[in-house]
Structure 1
Amino acid sequence: MIQESPRALFGVFLTVALIYGLIFMERTAPGLVTPELLHLYRVSPAVLSLMTLAQYFVYATLQVPVTWVGQRWPAEALLVAGAVLDGVGTVLFGLSHTFFTVVLSRGVVGLGDALIWLNIVQVLARRFSPGIFGRIIGLVAMTGNIGAIFGTFPLAVWIQGSGWRTPFLAMGGFLIAMAAVSWGVFFRWAPAPGATARVRRGLPWQAVWQKRPRLWGPVLGHWGMMGPFLGFVSLLAVPYLETVHHVGRVTASLYMAAGLLGSLLGGPLGGILADRFGVVWPYRFVAVENAVAWMIWTWGSSWFPSWALLTLFGLTGLANGASVLTFAVTRHFFPLEEQGLAAGLANTAGFLAAVLVPLGMGLWISLGGNYASMIGVAGLASLLGVVGSFLLPAEPQTRPAS
């Protein structure tokens, strides 16, 4: 780590935090305009789910390749490239006049997303000491959730007043501008040469694969805790609320905000529990809480009152935020040289669930099901999170030597 001035460190932190907040804002924003897209392009919910599939499938499949590329290219350059791609994809979404362009635009966003988080971690790790690094990462993650909250009610009001295209064009343009600013910031306050040294070696596939019982825990856990909520909110939450509970888009966005507020709180609360009880039992608790919430939601999906729906959005969002415990689990059960690959595989599973859950919901509706009963698809997916959490050893183990 280079000894930089507080001004330099704050400049890097603020730049990274703003980029991450914008990324989260535009990541879930298309869910607010799902009704317009269904009407404009005259497609079924199952076909519209291709939009989410393009974004999250590209993201998921690139997690491991990005780990490999990160050994050979500076994290700063990859982070800037990711922000540019996110911005270009968001602008393209705002300009789309065909459904093919909509799907293509979200694929470009997914490509950019894949370059963001892992490289944010590397950029900050090269500048901040281990003693404060955890807090800095936590603050950046929090700005992402704050950005997602801005992508609910405030964005819904903006869309209501100006139409849906203008906000996406503005978000995309600002992301591209922030990418240019970040390049200047990273160039001005570059880390010391020793801090940027990259290890050119392959990924430890065989070593990680030999630990399959440990690996399935975080893979299935992340699938069940993160994927159902993210996939639902990103595509079908607004149509569900409008169709089943007869609320407008602005009101629907408040329910989404409740879920994302839960996500904002879930990370810190999960960290507190992990510090107090170790990583295994909090991970199991969150997985069970998440599955129970989805199952209750499935049972009363069509008749729950507003306060109960707000609570369920909050509880499932809380589990989504607490799914960051997945990375504490991989750190606890895998040696240092294997942690990146194990975390990448678990993250891949979470985003694959975010693809397949809305796809399954859309297929259910297309086959004659209704919006109320489609919640059961998320409930079934959440059960895999419980299975994964109980595949971890019951008693906390000493972290493997690196």
Structure 2
Amino acid sequence: MTSQLGGRMAYAVWGVALATYFLAIFHRSSLAVAGLAASERFGISASQLATFAMLQLLVYAAMQIPVGLLVDRYGPRAVMLSGVVILTLAQTGFALAESYSVALVSRTFVGMGDAMTWICVLRLVSRWFPPRRVPVFTQLSGTVGQLGAVVAAVPMTVALREVGWTAAYLGTASLGILLALGLVFVVRDAPEGRRVSGPRMSWPGIRTSLTASWAHPGTRLGFWMHFTTQFSATAMALLWGYPFLVQGEGRSATSAGVLLTLIVVAFIYSGPLLGLLIGRHPWHRSSVVLVIVCAIVVVWTAVLAWPGPAPLWLLVLLTQVIGFGGPASMIGFDLARTSNPAERLASATGIINQAGFAASLVLVLSIGLILDWRTPGASTDYSPDAFRWALSAQYVLWGVGLAQIVRYRRRARAVIDRRALESGVPMT
């Protein structure tokens, strides 16, 4: 196989990296349909259940900048291999856990391993494909990777019911062994070498790199775009979608699983569309994000304000608009690419990637706390009214995020306008 940009070797490297990201998404999302089972297995409340996702997201968000720095230093192959080993061991621990504390530790390491995949995929895409094809392959990577959430929905529901908790989670953990072998024997950091390392890291160098990345308004715009678009779909897919649909909307377990799968379906078809759109119209990236966020807010408002359970067509529409939020969040990574030099691309990407997960962390925890506040005693039988209160926490995050997008897109456009006159830098 040739090692040229966009050649057969590029697709082989991308395929193995994408499979690894796919598995990471599966492990991240597998708790979404196991929330009620986890409550029964460990005897925990809603806020304790939310702690699973909270710790996982906290670790994921906190790891983004360190992982970006590690990728810049040691290359994506070594970092991704470490991540898949951690994921495999963590999911094995979660399968065997019989106490809440052991399960918490396991999910913490799931978040750590998960954090070591996506930035690596983005770096490999930027090195193995021509620049004009990077936005499309970035969206395709996110789209195909999100199929892991499909496997974590209906099939995982069936596995938990048919073979039980331990067997279901052990079976998925074993897949990490195969992917580790693929990373060792197939993946190369770049066409010019199996391992491409950066300069040695030092605290002054790290500080300078991160400061320079954050100082650019394009990086900040990407940060707030990622913050505002992702949290609704993540909170639903990761933990609260299934309980909301079953207890808050009165849907059956099967119907809830299908609706959660439809979120990923929206992610799948919207990703390539948005990739083509922003590739052809880079000046309108922030405008596309603003339109998508406003659509999410409008449909969520209709669902929460509906007297009684929302009709099925409205819930389906909800899955589609929040599904667009995932690919929309990836537009922020394109801002990192066009706002930073190659030597600090991974660290800038890490800064942006932590935004949406930090927002998701706040939302997941807020929903759990509000559900417990609105539910008498220690019951886990949450009412539709309790879910309306809990899910209204999204409006605070939307308000903050939209205000910051508008603020920094003005600043980013001013910088890009000035540089475009001088050197033709891609527009925001």
Could you state the TM-score of these two structures normalised by the residue count of structure 1?
0.89
What is the alpha-carbon distance in structure 2 between the residues aligned to residue 263 and residue 23 of structure 1? 17
Give the deviation of 1:9 after TM superposition.
Answer: 3.6
Give the deviation of 1:200 after TM superposition.
Answer: 3.8
Give the deviation of 1:318 after TM superposition.
Answer: 1.1
Task: Tell me which moved more, 5-14 or 115-124.
Answer: 5-14
What is the alpha-carbon distance in structure 2 between the residues aligned to residue 74 and residue 273 of structure 1? 30
Per the alignment, in what secondary structure is the counterpart of residue 409 of structure 2? coil
**Aligned in 2, Cα 1:329/1:288: closer, same or farther, shift over 3 Å?**
farther
Per the alignment, in what secondary structure is the counterpart of residue 34 of structure 2? helix
Letter in 2 for 1:239: P
Letter in 1 for 2:212: A
**Aligned in 2, Cα 1:382/1:269: closer, same or farther, shift over 3 Å?**
farther
How well do the aligned residues superpose, as a CA RMSD in angstroms? 2.8
Task: Tell me which moved more, 27-36 or 112-121.
Answer: 112-121
- Asked if the contact 1:60/1:352 (under 8 Å) is kept, the reply is yes
What is the alpha-carbon distance in structure 1 between the residues aligned to residue 159 and residue 142 of structure 2? 25
Per the alignment, in what secondary structure is the counterpart of residue 265 of structure 2? helix
Per the alignment, in what secondary structure is the counterpart of residue 316 of structure 1? helix
Q: Which string of whole-angstrom CA distances, capped at 9 and with x for unpartnered residues, describes residues 133-156 of structure 1?
A: 444443322211222222222322
* Residue in 2 that maps onto 1:207: 212
Ranges in structure 2 where 5+ consecutive residues have no aligned partner: 376-385
Q: Which string of whole-angstrom CA distances, capped at 9 and with x for unpartnered residues, describes residues 270-325 of structure 1?
A: 33432235322112212222222333333238421111111112111112222111
Q: Which string of whole-angstrom CA distances, capped at 9 and with x for unpartnered residues, describes residues 15-73 of structure 1?
A: 22222222212211111010111122221111111111111111111111112222321
What is the alpha-carbon distance in structure 1 between the residues aligned to residue 195 and residue 95 of structure 2? 39
- Asked if the contact 1:228/1:354 (under 8 Å) is kept, the reply is yes
* Residue in 2 that maps onto 1:278: 284
Letter in 2 for 1:229: A
**Aligned in 2, Cα 1:186/1:217: closer, same or farther, shift over 3 Å?**
closer
Per the alignment, in what secondary structure is the counterpart of residue 196 of structure 1? coil
What is the alpha-carbon distance in structure 2 between the residues aligned to residue 6 and residue 349 of structure 1? 33
Runs of 4 or more above 6 Å deviation: 399-402
1:253 aligns with 2:257: yes
**Aligned in 2, Cα 1:247/1:25: closer, same or farther, shift over 3 Å?**
same
* Residue in 2 that maps onto 1:328: 334
Ranges in structure 1 where 5+ consecutive residues have no aligned partner: none
The correspondence for 1:316, drawn from 322, 325, 329, is 322
**Aligned in 2, Cα 1:293/1:83: closer, same or farther, shift over 3 Å?**
same
1:371 aligns with 2:387: yes
What is the alpha-carbon distance in structure 2 between the residues aligned to residue 343 and residue 78 of structure 1? 15
* Residue in 2 that maps onto 1:53: 54
Give the deviation of 1:170 after TM superposition.
Answer: 1.0
Q: Which string of whole-angstrom CA distances, capped at 9 and with x for unpartnered residues, describes residues 179-233 of structure 1?
A: 123212237x98424982424462423334444x555433233222112320232
Give the deviation of 1:113 after TM superposition.
Answer: 1.2
* Residue in 2 that maps onto 1:240: 244
What is the alpha-carbon distance in structure 1 between the residues aligned to residue 251 and residue 86 of structure 2? 34
Give the deviation of 1:377 after TM superposition.
Answer: 1.5
Per the alignment, in what secondary structure is the counterpart of residue 186 of structure 1? coil
- Asked if the contact 1:263/1:318 (under 8 Å) is kept, the reply is yes
Per the alignment, in what secondary structure is the counterpart of residue 97 of structure 1? coil
What is the alpha-carbon distance in structure 2 between the residues aligned to residue 301 and residue 99 of structure 1? 37
Q: Percent identity?
A: 22
- Asked if the contact 2:218/2:335 (under 8 Å) is kept, the reply is no
* Residue in 1 that maps onto 2:270: 266
- Asked if the contact 1:225/1:320 (under 8 Å) is kept, the reply is yes
**Aligned in 2, Cα 1:230/1:143: closer, same or farther, shift over 3 Å?**
same
Per the alignment, in what secondary structure is the counterpart of residue 367 of structure 1? helix
- Asked if the contact 2:72/2:198 (under 8 Å) is kept, the reply is yes
* Residue in 1 that maps onto 2:400: 384
* Residue in 2 that maps onto 1:224: 228
Name the count of aligned residue pairs: 400
**Aligned in 2, Cα 1:175/1:386: closer, same or farther, shift over 3 Å?**
same
- Asked if the contact 2:227/2:401 (under 8 Å) is kept, the reply is yes
Task: Tell me which moved more, 104-113 or 280-289.
Answer: 280-289
Per the alignment, in what secondary structure is the counterpart of residue 310 of structure 1? helix
- Asked if the contact 2:36/2:243 (under 8 Å) is kept, the reply is yes
What is the alpha-carbon distance in structure 1 between the residues aligned to residue 75 and residue 229 of structure 2? 32
Letter in 1 for 2:373: L
Per the alignment, in what secondary structure is the counterpart of residue 70 of structure 1? helix
What is the alpha-carbon distance in structure 1 between the residues aligned to residue 142 and residue 60 of structure 2? 18
* Residue in 2 that maps onto 1:120: 121
What is the alpha-carbon distance in structure 2 between the residues aligned to residue 74 and residue 334 of structure 1? 18
What is the alpha-carbon distance in structure 1 between the residues aligned to residue 236 and residue 126 of structure 2? 33
Q: How does 1:55-94 map to 2 (within 5 A)?
A: 55-94=56-95
Could you state the TM-score of these two structures normalised by the residue count of structure 2?
0.84
Give the deviation of 1:363 after TM superposition.
Answer: 0.3
Letter in 1 for 2:153: T
Per the alignment, in what secondary structure is the counterpart of residue 166 of structure 1? helix
Task: Tell me which moved more, 292-301 or 31-40.
Answer: 292-301
